[in-house]
């Protein structure tokens, strides 16, 4: 037996490989290989043939086409990244707010929690696309849909806009607030998991800290900013990352990349687009990570 | 004497103020909670109202939410179009299989990363994080081609002589990816398990090793029974996400009968189906009333989420409790 001749430490580390074996096999053959293939496709022209496919190298042609030639790609990707940057702070703010709310003691808290986490279950692309299709069918054309949605979803916000502008808030901030009010349903429905994570973090804060603060005469406001906020701050980064990667699956970029590949059969272009998207998202994540990791309090 | 009286009245006044603010705050809080809950529940209530509404009530402007004429017709129609119960059975079978496989493979992997110091542990775990962060769109195309001509290390072509088997439109692509822990959001689940196992005391394992259990036996007999919270979390989330997923299902199983796929194309199907049901031949130019179609679509969506809501009513408290105990918060 060779196993016998190994030292105990070697044996342990071999056992570690046994445990991660399923993942390792999957990672090598079903993740790393496709990833490299996808990179290869983005530099080639791929043609599907009866028995597999053939590749023809074209250099950076696909990337050039994606950025300079394709009519939609630039617009869609800037739109969706912009949308992501706008909605992330809102979702974060709302989920921290709801988590603090749900962490307090009041009658009917269990019911309130159950309702607040309902969106975790119901956040589904299938349902939203069915709803959209139903609405298009109702109106008769997709062209009016965006206008209609803006009309339907809201009550009149003009008075709020005037009020906030009169107070002297800057224009861009007012716009942001208004878009938050109009999109409140989307914000609420996409912050279920984030509320869960924040709530778990809040419950992990030792109650002795609050007791001490209360003895020393701290107000609830001070307690929040001096104890709660620093204690949950590591989870803010987690939640930002989660929110960003959660937006991938429903993002219009994904739909565009899918349709370029399987409807227009331009596989190389689709691969190039998905790599550009990956790089953009990675850049956003790295920048956010670098900025925030300095401000986070780790205990 | 007078001083203590003054103190007393001051104290009482303070206390009254405090109580006043407490009451105001709790009213404010109740309003907020009720408002947000209403926003979340309203669409569901609306769909329930629509599902039992008769066609004649569509154009009655005096009706808000509660219909005048109750009917099961919409539910029957939507069930007919969706082929509801057979499809629900297939969907649940698929979702349960992939969920169990994902939980099993992710638990193994998470334990491996948490407790063994093999060379490259750190590097490989970085790759796990990478699988979470890279958008799955990047892998869409190679996945498709890969499973269209599936062949593992050339074994299949060795035996059959063909260049691989076509696994598109079968359950296999999802089963294979979940068994190898790289399926839908599997990286996240590995992370959850790793964090949890790292938090368990090392002494438990050492005791079992001293008592003569092997590494694998220790895992199944000692570590797994202790890991109920993360298992519940992973199983719940995996179930829900698999049930709702459209990305992998459209990619791998576009022609198959699964809930998420059927529901997303419900509107066009209802448009085709309703005229034939009403006795008009196909292609006679008759178009179903769009409002009626919308009613059926709403009912279909309600039917699709009904199993999840039923499940949620039973297990909702585990959602919060288990996530608190998984140690994902560190």
Where residue A96 falls among pLDDT bands split at 50, 70, 90?
very high
Angle at A165 between CA A159 and CA A171, to 5 degrees: 115
The region that residue A141 occupies, defined by phi over 0 for left and psi between -120 and 50 for alpha, beta otherwise, is beta
Computed over every residue of chain A, the mean pLDDT equals: 81
- Which of B23, B30, B33 to probe by mutation at the A interface, max A CB count within 10 Å? B33
Of the candidates A277, A281, A279, which has an alpha carbon nearest to the alpha carbon of residue A66? A277
Per-window interface: B 121-180 vs A, CB < 8 A: 121, 124, 127-128, 131-146, 149, 152-153, 163, 176-177, 179-180
Taken in order of first residue, the domains within chain A and their CATH numbers are 45-123+190-299 (1.10.3720.10)
Task: Provide the pLDDT for residue B108.
Answer: 92
Task: Check whether B292 has a pLDDT greater than 50.
Answer: yes
Min CA distance, B12 vs chain A (Å)? 18
CB-based contact, B242 to chain A, within 8 Å: no
* DSSP assigned state of B278: T
Task: Provide the pLDDT for residue A1.
Answer: 44
Reported as a single tens digit per residue, the pLDDT across A33-92 is 888 888 888 888 877 776 667 777 787 888 888 888 888 888 888 888 888 888 888 899
Instruction: With CB atoms and an 8 Å threshold, state whether B317 touches A16.
Output: no
Per-window interface: B 45-104 vs A, CB < 8 A: none
* CA separation, residue A239 to residues A16, A90, A92, A194, A248 (Å): 30, 12, 7, 6, 15
Report the alpha-carbon distance of residue A254 to residue A273 in Å, rounded.
Answer: 10
Task: Provide the pLDDT for residue B328.
Answer: 59
Reported as a single tens digit per residue, the pLDDT across B300-324 is 888 888 888 888 888 877 776 766 6
Task: Provide the pLDDT for residue B131.
Answer: 87
ipTM: 0.81
Residue ranges in chain A assigned as alpha helix (H):
2-5, 8-27, 33-42, 61-64, 73-103, 109-116, 118-122, 125-139, 145-152, 158-167, 171-182, 184-189, 192-204, 207-215, 220-223, 229-250, 252-262, 267-293
- Which of B33, B110, B129, B137 to probe by mutation at the A interface, max A CB count within 10 Å? B137
Instruction: With CB atoms and an 8 Å threshold, state whether A188 touches B40.
Output: yes
Task: Provide the pLDDT for residue B162.
Answer: 63
Task: Provide the pLDDT for residue B155.
Answer: 66
HSE on the CB side for B7, CA within 13 Å? Answer: 4
Tell me which chain A residues have a C-beta less than 8 angstroms from the C-beta of B143: 30, 34
Task: Give mean pLDDT, residues B127-150.
Answer: 84
Task: Provide the pLDDT for residue B100.
Answer: 93
Reported as a single tens digit per residue, the pLDDT across B213-238 is 888 888 888 888 888 888 888 888 89
CB A122 within 8 A of CB B243: no
The region that residue A15 occupies, defined by phi over 0 for left and psi between -120 and 50 for alpha, beta otherwise, is alpha
Which residues, other chains included, contact A41 with Cβ-Cβ below 8 Å and sequence gap of 6+?
A55, A267, A268, A271, B141, B142
* DSSP assigned state of A6: S
Task: Check whether B1 has a pLDDT greater than 60.
Answer: no
Instruction: With CB atoms and an 8 Å threshold, state whether A19 touches B109.
Output: yes
Q: How many CB pairs under 8 A join A and B?
A: 282
Least-confidence region, from A92-96, A166-170, B97-101, B321-325 = B321-325
Report the alpha-carbon distance of residue B184 to residue A131 in Å, rounded.
Answer: 24
Which residues, other chains included, contact B307 with Cβ-Cβ below 8 Å and sequence gap of 6+?
B88, B92, B243
Tell me which chain A residues have a C-beta less than 8 angstroms from the C-beta of B271: 137
Task: Check whether A139 has a pLDDT greater than 70.
Answer: no
Instruction: With CB atoms and an 8 Å threshold, state whether B137 touches A201.
Output: no
Report the alpha-carbon distance of residue B245 to residue B249 in Å, rounded.
Answer: 7
As beta bridge partners, residue A52 has A49
């Amino acid at each position: 037996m060779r196993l016998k001749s190994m030292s105990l430490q070697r044996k342990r580390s071999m056992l570690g490989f046994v445990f991660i074996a399923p993942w390792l096999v999957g990672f090598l053959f079903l993740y790393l290989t496709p990833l490299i293939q996808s990179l290869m496709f983005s530099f080639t022209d791929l043609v599907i043939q009866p028995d597999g496919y053939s590749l023809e190298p074209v250099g950076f042609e696909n990337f050039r086409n994606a950025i300079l030639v394709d009519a939609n790609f630039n617009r869609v990707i800037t739109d969706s990244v912009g949308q992501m940057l706008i909605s992330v702070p809102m979702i974060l703010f709302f989920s921290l707010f709801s988590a603090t709310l749900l962490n307090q003691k009041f009658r009917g808290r269990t019911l309130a929690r159950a309702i607040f986490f309902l969106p975790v279950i119901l956040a589904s692309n299938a349902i939203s696309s069915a709803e959209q299709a139903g609405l298009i069918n109702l109106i008769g054309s997709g062209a009016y849909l965006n206008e209609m949605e803006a009309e339907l979803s809201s009550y009149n916000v003009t008075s709020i806009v005037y009020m906030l502008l009169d107070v002297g808030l800057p224009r861009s901030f007012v716009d942001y607030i208004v878009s938050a009010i109009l999109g409140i349903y989307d914000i609420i429905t996409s912050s279920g998991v984030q509320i869960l994570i924040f709530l778990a973090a809040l419950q992990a804060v030792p109650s002795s800290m609050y007791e001490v603060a209360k003895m020393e005469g701290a107000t609830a406001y001070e307690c929040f900013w001096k104890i709660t906020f620093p204690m949950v701050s590591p989870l803010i980064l987690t939640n930002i990352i989660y929110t960003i990667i959660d937006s991938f699956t429903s993002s219009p970029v994904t739909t565009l990349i899918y349709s370029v590949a399987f409807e227009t059969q331009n596989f190389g272009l689709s691969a190039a687009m998905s790599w550009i998207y990956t790089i953009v998202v990675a850049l956003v994540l790295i920048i956010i990570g670098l900025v925030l990791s300095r401000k986070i309090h780790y205990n | 004497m007078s001083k203590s009286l003054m103190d007393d009245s001051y104290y009482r006044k303070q206390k009254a103020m405090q109580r006043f603010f407490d009451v105001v705050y709790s009213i404010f809080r109740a309003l907020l909670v009720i408002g947000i809950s209403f926003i979340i529940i309203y669409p569901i209530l609306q769909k329930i109202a629509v599902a039992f509404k008769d066609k004649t009530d569509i154009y009655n402007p005096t009706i808000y939410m509660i219909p005048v004429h109750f009917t099961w017709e919409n539910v029957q129609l939507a069930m007919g179009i969706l082929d509801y119960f057979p499809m629900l059975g297939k969907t649940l079978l698929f979702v349960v299989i992939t969920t169990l496989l994902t939980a099993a493979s992710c638990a193994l992997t998470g334990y491996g990363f948490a407790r063994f110091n093999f060379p490259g542990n750190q590097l490989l775990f970085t790759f796990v994080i990478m699988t979470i962060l890279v958008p799955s769109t990047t892998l869409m195309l190679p996945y498709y081609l890969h499973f269209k001509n599936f062949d593992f290390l050339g074994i299949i072509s060795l035996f059959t002589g063909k260049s691989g088997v076509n696994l598109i439109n079968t359950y296999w692509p999802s089963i294979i990816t979940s068994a190898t822990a790289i399926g839908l959001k599997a990286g996240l689940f590995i992370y959850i398990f790793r964090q949890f196992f790292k938090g368990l005391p090392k002494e438990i394992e050492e005791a079992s090793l001293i008592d003569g259990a092997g590494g694998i036996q220790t895992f199944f007999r000692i570590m797994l029974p202790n890991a109920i919270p993360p298992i519940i979390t992973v199983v719940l989330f995996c179930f829900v996400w698999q049930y709702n997923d459209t990305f992998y299902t459209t990619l791998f199983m576009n022609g198959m009968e699964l809930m998420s796929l059927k529901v997303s194309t419900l509107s066009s199907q209802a448009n085709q189906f309703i005229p034939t049901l009403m006795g008009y031949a196909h292609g006679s130019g008759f178009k179903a009333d769009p409002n009626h179609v919308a009613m059926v679509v709403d009912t279909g969506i309600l039917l699709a989420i009904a199993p999840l809501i039923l499940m949620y009513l039973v297990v909702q408290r585990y959602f919060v409790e288990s996530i608190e105990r998984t140690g994902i918060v560190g």
